[in-house]
Structure 1
Amino acid sequence: MVAMEPPAAFGADAVRGEKAKVVGAIRPWSQEEALANSVRGQYAKGAMGDKEVVGYRQEDRVEPDSTTETYVALKVMVDNWRWVGVPFYLRTGKRMSARSTEIAICFKPAPYAQFRDTEVDRLKPNYLRIQIQPNEGMWFDLFAKRPGPELKMEDIALGFAYKDFFEMQPSTGYETLIYDCLTGDQTLFQRADNIENGWRAVQPFLDAWAAQPQVQLYEAGKDGPQAGEELLSRDGREWRELNV
């Protein structure tokens, strides 16, 4: 939904039509490209806070040589007029440092730096963060000049959190879907063509992983294997710290 075009109307047909279009525009990688643009991981023993935990292969009813992934990172490209050339990085996993669902949109740097001989050259990019859980809201992360004669910059966050303005907690995903089932609203449900487009996009990854089923191990309580960091660092980027 982040990449879809605005629908002509807020209704099931219009919304689901735009979602199907953008998913259909995801570039289908070759098997070699899919392997190069993905990382599969599995947590090993580690610590969650002060509690030591076992690795996935030591969990009950798990085979000691299991290659089931508990972490996946992907790079995908959307080949349409708006998004061509813009990479989308996706990451999900279990037993990471925090439980958080967030969309982070990174803005391009200015094409010309007016203050070449100052630390402004080394500013981090601005981000728009949309947090789905646990603290629903939206924040704009940017740099601002610190008051005073020296040119010193600091991180600031302009934000909105639902809990700060509304006493009622937002509905959970399942509550919303069950209510929509009762009222017959199909807007948030997947249409057949969108599902088919999604499988077309992920099938190269599945084929590549079937051919090379090894997983990268990472310590429980960490944010994934080193290969996941390298997936972004080779493009001059890095994952954001998980927010709670």
Structure 2
Amino acid sequence: MRFIVLGVLYISVIIIKHLQWKNLITDDAGNIISYVNLVFFYPLGTACLVAAAFCVIFRKTAQQQIIAGTSWVMGIIFLFSCATHFWQFFSWEYTAPNAPITLTFPSNEWKTVVTTPHGYRMTVVMKNVHAGISVMSSTQDSSNVHNFDELLTSQQIHYKSGYQADAFTLYPCQVDGFRCAYQDYIATTDDGDEKRSILMTLLDNTHFIQVAAVIDQKYADEYYDEIMGIMQSAKAIKD
């Protein structure tokens, strides 16, 4: 009976761990190895080691006592894994530093990550390595962008010969308290990787805010609607 209980708990843990880590099932061998370890070996190994340690400490080393202890630990792993998994589905609001707007992210799969591109610190909200959103805020005077015509001019200067007017078409959007437009284009990194880029620009009387989303082109169809929903959730912070 103890083996049956332990087996049921182990299968339950495998199911919930699969739901947590199924994104690792890809063509990458390293990801597959990580998936097998996290779903099958890590829970069982942890339960056995923790149970064995407690059984030795409390001198409960009979076989049935070790099995019972392993079942208890496996049950705790199952409950903790369930809580962690379902916690991911709660939405949350994000306020970027120095930006008077909030964004609503649909789940806790999106996590803030501090990066240091080109020597400065920037907080990016990442779903995974394939999709992320960052918020950049400045004043219109310091950026020399007071309207969308000046935005297009600055982009033309920045991209030089790589600038194509059709690729940087402005599409209207709506955020109360701001003039809003977004651009949807394909950017190529220095490494030659293609990224789907969505850039939403917000202007009020003084602020120049850009919400920039980058998606690996291979995953653009999978994440595009979710990212557009996040951008459309932008709200001004009330003073």
Higher relative contact order (CA 8 A, sep 6+): 1
Counting helix residues as a fraction of each chain, which structure ranks higher?
A: 2
Interval containing the TM-score (normalised by the shorter chain): under 0.3
Q: Which has the larger radius of gyration?
A: 2
TM-score (norm: length of structure 1): 0.19
